[in-house]
Structure 1
Amino acid sequence: MKPKAEANKLSKILSIFLGEDRFPVDVESLALEYSKETSPSDPIVKIKKSDVDNFEGALIKHPNKSQWMILYKENIRSEGRKRFTIAHELGHYMLHRAEMDEFLCTSIVGEQSLSVRDIENEADTFASYLLMPLDDCRKQTSHQQFSIELLIHCANRYNVSLMAAALKLKEILPKRIVVVAARDGMILWASSNQKAYKSKVYIKTKGVPPISIPEGSLMSSLSTNPVGESKKQPANLWFPDEPKDLHLIEHVFVATEGYDYTLGVLELESE
């Protein structure tokens, strides 16, 4: 089953038993109880933190039993990131456990083969749709434009990281949106929604030399404002091919989730 469909199936079950206003999802109890009820011959029996350095999360089958264990890195300080990691590993259990007995998941994309990257993307999609179901997200964003306040509201409602919330809002909101993560003046990665990508508004970060944050951008100011900042900017400051008279809103938030990075959301006007 596809990751969105599998996550939506679980969400419908949770809504039936717990009601519509059931957030945040208790992902640990869900993983243990749902696997026991639906797959008693090979359930998830344990979820615990681990001090192993080479992965953020793991799904591992017991060598002598048909049982599974989820591990997450003990130094994950962000509760939202920990929850997303557990949901990601539950995604591997639901979608991929017939293919492998061990999933060691790193956040370093460059270390992954294309086939591994595919299943990692599927597990991420599952986690996103399980923790932040599309129907509820649409209710939260109805008739709203992107704002830092909306981002914080969604992160708090679903108990996820600001990054996870920004990537979900990128999917839903109507404008062209690009989410950017940066550290030490360099762009770590960027992700455009479909509307932006189709209009060639994207930042390529894979297979190219490191890219600096544009000089004069709000992200380049390294703001430490705890509530974030927003500023109207010429669109071609970030995307040189955009018309000179077109603007974007640059939203910047310095994340304090156990990771040192600046999160940016670029919201572009229509062409």
Structure 2
Amino acid sequence: MINNTPLSHIKELAEFIALQYDEKLTPVDKIAQDEGLELFYDGYETGTFDGMTVYQNRKFYVHLNIDSGNRKDSTRGRFTLAHELGHYFIDAHRVGLQKGILVPHSSNTNKKQFDTIEREADYFASCLLMPESRFKDEIFRKKFNYELIQNLATRYNVSITACALRFAQIGNHPIMIVYVENGVVKWKLESDDFPYKWLLNEKKIPKNTVVGEYFSKSNLRDVYKTEKVWAMDWFNNVRDYDTNRSFYEHCIPHRNKALSIIWED
């Protein structure tokens, strides 16, 4: 049994490690090297795994799957390595690997706990790659728009999704992020102070939205755009006096998937 680690502890740990290095772009490979971890960037076929931390012969080995896009210094590779560093640095994870309690792959019997552990490692990676103090310096007195997320993602060499999630956690403007596959909402996350918490149709995306148009009109398959949308078209429990309340939505589509970032002026 692996005990859960408070997110506040994970944040403090990850950011302490990141700020030990002068580089504004957290040097994840250097951190691994300084800890004596053996890194292997190799092909392990697509659809298998992104990264894997193994404890063997009293040593930790980290495998990064380049067949899934986890090349050294790529956005995906950096996040995957940072995630695996989470398994190494978070005490409960490291001890679990050493004792054989935490295995590299999940199983049906421990899926709930495994998901929690993976979320902890994801959070560690986010805090390691985008430490709060540095991140907030970058956004100080800057008006929110999609270009700000783009610039931050480039600045920290992370994906748009990772950057948007971090902004929702610690940014200076409330946003909501909605991820959709085949017209079905798979997950959403919003800033604590975002004015709405529930989507209009829960899992089915509303038609009168940018992402709704993407999935309903084939000629929009390759369009990336920011458009004005209405609260009553996106959210549940919109009061009568807010029927004309407007937001902005930027949709990032890719084949049968799309990510929408929603915010208000």
2:259 pairs, out of 258, 263, 266, with 263
CA contact (8 A) 1:190 1:202 kept: no
State the partner residue of 2:28: 27
SS in 2 for 1:75: helix
- Cα deviation, 1:228-255, whole Å, max 9, x if unaligned, reads 3211211121112123132221122235
Identity of aligned residues (%): 24
Residues 1:58 and 1:186: Cα distance change in structure 2 (over 3 Å): same
1:180 aligns with 2:178: yes
Counterparts of 2:67 and 2:146, CA distance in 1: 27
Counterparts of 1:160 and 1:140, CA distance in 2: 15
1:118-157 correspondence runs (5 A): 118-157=116-155
**TM-superposed deviation, 1:260:** 5.9
State the partner residue of 2:16: 9
Task: Tell me the number of residue pairs that the alignment of Structure 1 and Structure 2 aligns.
Answer: 241
Counterparts of 2:138 and 2:105, CA distance in 1: 31
Q: TM-score, normalised by structure 1?
A: 0.78
CA contact (8 A) 1:146 1:173 kept: no
**TM-superposed deviation, 1:137:** 1.1
Residues 1:249 and 1:186: Cα distance change in structure 2 (over 3 Å): same
1:221 aligns with 2:213: yes
**TM-superposed deviation, 1:120:** 1.4
**TM-superposed deviation, 1:134:** 0.8
State the partner residue of 1:86: 81
Q: TM-score, normalised by structure 2?
A: 0.80
More displaced 10-residue stretch of structure 1: 115-124 or 168-177: 168-177
Gaps of 5+ in 1: 37-43
**TM-superposed deviation, 1:174:** 3.8
CA contact (8 A) 1:191 1:203 kept: no
1:239 pairs, out of 221, 231, 235, with 235
Residues 1:204 and 1:6: Cα distance change in structure 2 (over 3 Å): farther
**TM-superposed deviation, 1:81:** 1.5
Counterparts of 2:95 and 2:247, CA distance in 1: 46
Give the letter for the 1:13 counterpart.
Answer: Q
CA contact (8 A) 2:18 2:26 kept: no
CA contact (8 A) 2:75 2:157 kept: yes
**TM-superposed deviation, 1:151:** 1.1
Give the letter for the 1:213 counterpart.
Answer: I
State the partner residue of 2:217: none
Give the letter for the 1:91 counterpart.
Answer: G
**TM-superposed deviation, 1:118:** 2.0
- Cα deviation, 1:57-81, whole Å, max 9, x if unaligned, reads 211112xx11111123332337212
Counterparts of 1:25 and 1:12, CA distance in 2: 8
1:70-85 correspondence runs (5 A): 70-77=62-69, 79-85=74-80
State the partner residue of 2:49: 55
Gaps of 5+ in 2: 215-219
CA contact (8 A) 1:58 1:103 kept: no
CA contact (8 A) 2:200 2:206 kept: no
